[in-house]
Amino acid sequence: MDGNGRWAKKAGKKRFAGHTRGAETVSEIVEEAARKKIKFLTLFAFSTENWNRPKKEVNLLMKLLVSSLKKEFSRLNKNKIKLCSVGDLNSLPNSVKDELMFVIEKTKKNKKMVLTLALNYGAKEEIIEAVKTISNKVKNSIISPEKVDESTIISHLYTRNLPPVDLLIRTSGEERISNFLLWHIAYAELYFTKTLWPDFKKEDFQKALINYKKRERRFGKTSEQII
């Protein structure tokens, strides 16, 4: 979800107005994804690198997160959406952790869609943590090194409960991954749009899905093999 700041600048507003508008987009896209029967939607809400922003912006983003969780809670339940998070929650303010844990607990039985918020998330850090844990298990003879395979790695990632990514959308014209879900995007289809996140409406999301549907996913095979 990129482009909140640029949206605000264009509108002659403070950056935070872009984030507030961006939160409204989240609400619309989450509902549309569930309506489209998407089973997993993962949103990059706050990266490990986002701490480097001005303190005031970080604080406001944290506050916005708490108020959005409070506001969206009943809508998540109404749409049978289960909330999860990935990332290192330890360094988030208590207000965020508490609200997040509350909504996660209260939505855990919902079955229609899993909405995962990536918070204080960085894919490199995620892989480092997994390697550390696996190394310790090898050291203590819990895992034998020859047995280390894809599933060993996956089961030690924050994203262990997520399937491989089918489609990755980035808004605002930036064409990069920025340390998001590196393992799970190995075979993802990438979709970049110039639309800024606050302007990204359900029609834009539908357009991305239609574009995705037209792609031939070969996973290394030939075209003839998959028809």
Q: Is 50 a catalytic residue?
A: yes
Residues for the chain: how many in total? 227
Residue 158 binding result from ligand IPE, Mg ion, none, given CB thresholds of 5 to 8 Å by partner type: none
Q: Which residue is catalytic, options 4, 50, 52, 98?
A: 50
Query: Which residues are 84's β-sheet partners?
Result: 116
Q: Measure Cα distances from 176 to 15, 47, 60, 81, 171 in Å.
A: 22, 14, 26, 29, 10
Which of 165, 198 has the CB closer to ligand IPE? Answer: 198
- Count the residues of the shown chain that bind Mg ion, applying the rule CB under 5 A: 1
Tell me, by CB under 6 A, how many residues bind ligand IPE: 12
Q: Exactly one of 50, 77, 152, 211 binds ligand IPE (CB under 6 A); which one?
A: 50
* Region binding ligand IPE by CB under 6 A among candidate stretches 1-9, 35-43, 65-73, 134-142: 1-9
Q: Binding to ligand IPE (CB under 6 A): which residues in 135-194? A: 172
E-strand spans in the chain?
Answer: 40-47, 81-86, 113-121, 167-170, 189-192
CB 4 within 8 A of CB 22: yes
Radius of gyration of the chain measured on its C-alpha atoms: 19
Q: How far is the CB of 64 from ligand IPE (least distance, A)?
A: 9
Q: Is 61 in the site for ligand IPE (CB under 6 A)?
A: yes
Q: Which of 85, 44, 45 is nearest to 181 (CA)?
A: 44
CA dist., res. 7 & res. 17, Å (int) = 9
Burial class (CB in 10 A: 0-12, 13-18, 19+), 63: middle
Site string for Mg ion, 2-31 (x = CB under 5 A): x-----------------------------
Plot region of 189 (φ>0 → left; ψ -120 to 50 → alpha; else → beta) = beta
Q: Is 65 in the site for ligand IPE (CB under 6 A)?
A: no
> Least distance (Å) from Mg ion to the CB of residue 218?
32
Q: Does 134 bind ligand IPE (CB under 6 A)?
A: no
Site residues (vs ligand IPE, CB under 6 A): 1-6, 22, 46, 50, 61, 172, 197
Residues with active-site annotation: 2, 50
Site residues (vs Mg ion, CB under 5 A): 2
